[in-house]
Structure 1
């Protein structure tokens, strides 16, 4: 079989949680761009990501699927009355993607697992593990010989698992939504907690709106009302979005970590202050134009990153498709 034949046979299943967090969004972006490139790619939603026994997996999958299908069917009628219950069904950044319902794949399918998924519950013969954040893999939760590791960004890479630092970075920003609409006076402060919820320096209470659980449109509305956005999650894209919406966006550095830890050759953090010094606030204000330009280029860069990823997969899994 030629390489071109293998390329034409490649299929992808992307495993994702059913939410609108940053990790889930880029998993959907991957599916979107794979389809745009002509590949067969589907989303597989799972309600359980650690490594269960086979019985427990099937039980969790059946219960999740029943609940998920009920929410999909009832959302058009009940979502307005029970917004929080239907949160992840009415606030979907990327819609219209094909979905895989049954939990098995054929021998020509590449399964893409995010780093929160342990084991290989779809029993894929060709597995990609995408390091979207710092991983917590233990022995037995991945195949050291067969699994292909890629990272979303340099800071999340593990060089033991991905020594070549293969990168798949495909952020997606809806610039028609994420933009400044309030050019008047601002005074309030909002907060982002998200992955910073376990930090030892997180205050017991915050004197402003926490945007974590708001719908996407609601987040943008808050960002356009507030003067400051303070984030205890040092890696969230919402710090960027807050800046695009006109906030002075500030990341609170983790104890013992310097500005240079967060701002380096891989990430300039345009439009964002690391800490509360005048120097950092000035940096955030003076580089907001660079942040806007960066985002205008980002969606096209995402497409190219996905294309490079497919080339690498074709090369890595060449002569293995359809074989034991």
Structure 2
């Protein structure tokens, strides 16, 4: 049994990065490992030496006193345990790439590249002995991690929610901006419905009504959720980025159009996408086992 502490924000159902961090913790726990999360909002003991750290501590104490940590929108559906300071020394600590430095001062650090380093935070601050894993090849920094086997892709399908229930006529468009907020938002019809921040249950309903889902964020699970509901996802192409550069692995392009001209591809390859997704739990476990074997080998001493 290996001990892990996963550093993650509190759960939010509309954040793909947070979802997969919590999902990974649940998956490793199911494999028999001791796994706890460290909420990013909880101050580490070393942070108390700074003014921002004390402010963080006061806010965390206030949230606990008011019972806000039990709020439905912040409560992880995986029922994960929160780590204490004494758990850190004996554990491997995993940070997503947006975390700068080593807040928990762990001697065993894994970085999970859920996006290109610096793409979200603008900061790249890693340790020289960190072990890197990437969510997909597009996010890997080959200078930091030259090992192609260090892939850790975890998917949460929410297949009980995202189901195609409309076999009749579909009309109109919905669209999502997310990380595409700095792009020109001119690819959708003026009557299209914006779905940023919509709950998964309501979004599944909208996906079952609309014919097209226009997505300004080129990398999000929501495109697959749309396809699962029978809606055609259309990713707005990035200037100067080819389809193959956008998603180097062909299986990551199944069922998704990269621009309007690619809609026939999305329709034709939807069955391949459904088949690929049906194998996702098996792949989750396979990649998680490889992850554990790799980190155990690195940190065995």
Q: Tell me if TM exceeds 0.5.
A: yes
Cα displacement string for residues 118-174 of structure 1 (whole angstroms, at most 9, x for unaligned residues): 1111111111011000112757x2211x21111111110001111113111111212
Aligned-CA RMSD value: 2.4
Deviation at 1:203, TM superposition (A): 3.7
Unaligned 5+ segments in structure 1 are 1-7, 76-85, 320-324
Measure, in 1, the Cα distance between the counterparts of 2:47 and 2:81: 26
Residue 63 of structure 1 pairs with residue 59 of structure 2: yes
- Give the paired residue count: 290
For 1:287, which of 269, 275, 280 is the aligned residue? 269
Measure, in 1, the Cα distance between the counterparts of 2:162 and 2:146: 35
Measure, in 1, the Cα distance between the counterparts of 2:278 and 2:19: 18
Match of 1:153 in 2: 136
Deviation at 1:263, TM superposition (A): 4.0
Measure, in 2, the Cα distance between the counterparts of 1:308 and 1:66: 40
39-48 or 230-239: which moved more? 39-48
SS at match of 1:226: coil
Contact 1:12 1:110 (C-alpha < 8 Å) held by counterparts:
yes
Match of 1:4 in 2: none
Deviation at 1:58, TM superposition (A): 3.9
Unaligned 5+ segments in structure 2 are none
Change (3 A) 1:212 1:306: same
Residue 215 of structure 1 pairs with residue 199 of structure 2: yes
For 1:113, which of 95, 109, 118 is the aligned residue? 95
For 2:181, which of 197, 205, 210 is the aligned residue? 197
> TM-score normalised to the size of structure 1?
0.82
Deviation at 1:103, TM superposition (A): 4.9
229-238 or 55-64: which moved more? 55-64
Change (3 A) 1:204 1:176: closer
Cα displacement string for residues 53-112 of structure 1 (whole angstroms, at most 9, x for unaligned residues): 842224214413532662244x4xxxxxxxxxx6444xx5x3222222x45643221110
Q: Specify which structure has the bigger relative contact order, considering alpha-carbon pairs within 8 angstroms and separated by 6 or more residues.
A: 1
> TM-score normalised to the size of structure 2?
0.88
